[in-house]
Amino acid sequence: MVPPNRVESTPVRISASASLDERTLRDVRELVETTTEIEGHRPVGEHKYAHLAVGARGWVGILAHDDDGRLVGYAHTRWNQPGVRPRMAVEVVVHPALHGPAGDGFVDGGPGVAERLLTEARAVLARAGGGLLYLWVHRVEDPRTTLAARMGFAVQRELAFMTRSLDERGEPAVLPDDVTVRPYREGSDDEAFLEVNNAAFADHPENGAWDRTTFAERRSLDWFDPDGLFIAWRGEQALAFHWTKWHAHHSDESPAHEPVGEVYVLAVHPSAQGLGLGRALLRVGIAHLHDRGCRQAILYVDCASTGAVGLYRSEGFDLAYREVCYEEDVAPQVDSTADLLRPAF
């Protein structure tokens, strides 16, 4: 790795592959973790990081190596299932030592590392037949001043990162008389979970259209705890769920600070709207995280979902910052090598 805090003009080589070997994946994870340690937050979102952790299919890795063969930048793509046109979500990480004044990285006065990675991501999508490119940028203060904006991407949506104290256990949940809540049971609850999830997030680019494989990949991550996934039932019908996440924040020697709890996913089936299940399950999860020792809760919510934002505010959450998704409609490019970088689903 480039030593931290050393900004230098470094020639890089850009390459792309739909199949990364385990050594390259380890280098990518190391780059992500090094950047996280230096910057204080992970440069890629949960969904992309999950792919790196389990080696999922359906993505292309775009790599930036310096002349010594060190990985200094990476663009992770996530392809949606085949449809009328391809749709690809991208996130970029560049080693902080290569961040120029604009935070984008630079190469001998020319395009920065991040810009070159994004340019190659555009090309990959163009060669695959064109389609929509979604680019996530984290901890944005002004969406108009980012590299994405300067490259012509338009704002597609914004996520609010919200937090609240868990010093208190919170208000008790109030459920309809015929509704019960219990933790997830692996195997027997899978189809019911997927039914609620896919109905609640029918048009969502990350949470929608899950299958058993997607769900299994997420459960395989080391933080998953079945006792932290609560499902509301009316008889044999699942109506809603609250999937919590427990961030231990520990080092090899001792805890770094108190654990943080996350409202990872809160979903209500459209047929069960109006029953107060969102608020009830939110309180169930908050109580669970408090009892596990968390003294802060966090969540991400789409700013356009005013009802959800209002619910979280009414339950004590405050806005901390925003994450921005940019989009671009990439035109197709005729290229005889296109299929080489189009993932096989």
Structure confidence by residue, pLDDT tens digits, 266-284: 999 999 999 999 999 999 9
Most confident of 29-43, 69-83, 132-146, 305-319: 305-319
Domain boundaries along the sequence of the chain: 12-158+325-334, 168-294
Worst-scoring range by mean pLDDT, 4-18, 61-75, 259-273? 4-18
Cα–Cα distance for residue pair 211/217, rounded to 1 Å? 10
| Per-residue pLDDT tens over the stretch 68-98 | 899 999 998 887 755 556 788 899 999 988 8
Q: Is the pLDDT of residue 200 over 80?
A: yes
CATH superfamily ID and name for 12-158+325-334: Gcn5-related N-acetyltransferase (GNAT) (3.40.630.30)
Mean pLDDT in residue range 102-125: 74
Mean pLDDT in residue range 283-298: 95
* Paired tokens of 202: 């029918």
pTM of the model: 0.69
Mean pLDDT in residue range 140-163: 91
| Per-residue pLDDT tens over the stretch 15-56 | 998 888 888 889 999 998 888 888 877 777 766 777 777 666
Burial 246-285 (b: 16+ CB within 10 A, else e): beeeeeeeeeeeebbbbbbbbbbbeebeebebbbbbbbbb
* Paired tokens of 191: 């189809």
**Residues whose CB falls within 8 Å of the CB of residue 90, separated by 6 or more in sequence, listed in order:** 75, 76, 77, 78, 118, 121, 133, 134, 135, 136
pLDDT of amino acid 327: 94
pLDDT of amino acid 5: 46
Q: Which residue has the higher pLDDT, 74 or 342?
A: 74
Cα–Cα distance for residue pair 50/333, rounded to 1 Å? 30
CATH-assigned architecture of domain 168-294: 3-Layer(aba) Sandwich (3.40)
Mean pLDDT computed over every residue of the chain: 85
Q: Which amino acid is at 150?
A: R
Is the Cα dihedral 66, 102, 155, 323 positive or negative? positive
pLDDT of amino acid 6: 45
pLDDT of amino acid 88: 87
**Per-residue confidence at 335, pLDDT binned at 50, 70, 90?**
low
Q: Quickly count: other Cβ atoms within 10 Å of residue 194's Cβ.
A: 17
pLDDT of amino acid 318: 95
Comparing 12-158+325-334 with 168-294, is the CATH topology the same? yes
